[in-house]
Structure formats: structure tokens, C-alpha cells
Amino acid sequence: MTDSSRAGKGGTRDTSVGDRDISLEADMKHIDQHHRVLLEQIRVLLDPAEAGRIQETLDLIVTCAANRFRTEERLHQKTDYARAGEHLEAHHRFTAVFGTLKKEYDDSGHSLTILMKLTKFLLAWLKEHIRGQDQEFADYFHQFRSPT
Ligand SMILES: [Fe+2]
């Protein structure tokens, strides 16, 4: 990094727009899109008119969550995120609990009781993790990208 590449940034971190930076921004947008996808998936689970899509939606949630977690964890590493460890633990807990609930649903067939447990868990995840830990990381990310 040259001195001129730091000019005007006021920090010690190279924030020049290069392939690496574009990749980070793309990953962050990817995470935002995943959050919107999860909201739509919860809507499907709660809508009796969508009963025929529940199994497919549960399978999609597993795939989407795994992809989202990989992307987030990659960003944590690339930005030296100090709270990466506890964030990773939360992802592992989600995978374990959702996996258990989904298996219950898979084994019992269409069960309204388990479906309600699943949607309750996903809504809590949305509120506590996505609007909590993920938002905290997003704030850190924007600070990392544009240090004051
Ligand atoms: Fe996360």
C-alpha cells in the first residue's frame, strides 16, 4: 500500500476499491438477501394455503442457512471480527436445534404442533440473531469498510 492510497481515508487500513473490497460488499449483499429469503420462508410455513410447500421449504431453510453461515463466517475472518467465535457458536446452535425440529417434523409427517415450534424458533432467530448479532456485525463491517 502506498501513502497515496491512504490519503483521505484517515485510517491505517487500506480501503481502496479493488477486487477484494468488491467481493466483501457482494458477500454482505448476499447476507441481506438471505435474510429476506428467510422472511418469505417463514411466511410460507405460516400460510395454510402453502401447506403443500412445507417440506420443500424446510429443506430450503437448511440449505440457505448453511450458505448464509458460510458467507458470514468468511466475512468474519476477512475482517478480523473479534466476536466471530460467539457468532459461530450461535450458528452451530441454530443448525443443531433446527435440525432436531426438522427431523421431528420429517418423522411425524405434517404436524401442526411441530410446525408451530419450527416457526416460533425461526421468528426468535430472526429477532435475536439476525436483528442482534448479524446487525452488530453489519455495523462493524461498515465501520471496517469506512473507518472514521
Ligand atoms: Fe449470523
4 C-alpha to ligand 1 centroid (Å): 36
In the predicted model, what is the mean pLDDT of residues 104-110? 89
Ligand 1 centroid – CA 88 distance (Å): 7
- 129 CA distance to ligand 1 centroid (A)? 6
Show Cβ contacts of residue 134 under 8 Å, excluding neighbours closer than 6 positions. Answer: 31, 35, 72
- The residue type of 24 is L
C-alpha grid cell, residue 22: 468488491
Per-residue confidence at 148, pLDDT binned at 50, 70, 90? Answer: low
Find, among 14, 33, 27, 37, the residue nearest to 73 by Cα.
27
Give me ligand 1 centre to Cα 100, in Å.
19
Closest of 48, 60, 73 to residue 122, by C-alpha: 60
**Range with the poorest average pLDDT among 10-19, 66-75, 100-109:** 10-19
Largest CA distance in the chain: 64
C-alpha 140 to ligand 1 mean position (Å): 13
Average pLDDT, the chain: 84
Using the mean position of ligand 1's atoms as its centre, give its distance from the Cα of residue 42 in Å: 17
133 CA distance to ligand 1 centroid (A)?
6
Q: How far is the CA of 5 from the centre of ligand 1 (A)?
A: 32
Tell me how far apart the alpha carbons of residues 108 and 134 are, in angstroms, rounded to a whole number: 33
Domain spans, the chain: 17-143
Gap from CA of 107 to ligand 1 centroid (Å): 28
Distance 76 CA to ligand 1 centre (A): 10
Within 10 Å of residue 50's Cβ, how many Cβ atoms? Answer: 13
> Can you read off the three cell numbers belonging to residue 97?
436445534
Can you identify the CATH homologous superfamily of domain 17-143?
A: Hemerythrin-like (1.20.120.50)
Ligand 1 centre distance from Cα of residue 69 (Å):
6
pTM of the predicted protein model:
0.80
| Nearest alpha-carbon partner for 102 in 139, 147, 58 | 58
φ/ψ of residue 18, rounded to 5: -135, -175
User: Over 50: is that where the pLDDT of 20 sits?
Assistant: yes
What phi, psi does 8 have (nearest 5°)?
85, -10
Q: Which residues of 4-24 are buried (b: 16+ CB within 10 A; e: fewer)?
A: eeeeeeeeeeebeeeeeeeeb
Residue 95 or residue 32, greater confidence: 95
pLDDT digits (tens, 9 = 90+) for 34-93: 888 899 999 999 998 998 999 999 999 999 999 999 999 999 999 999 999 999 999 999
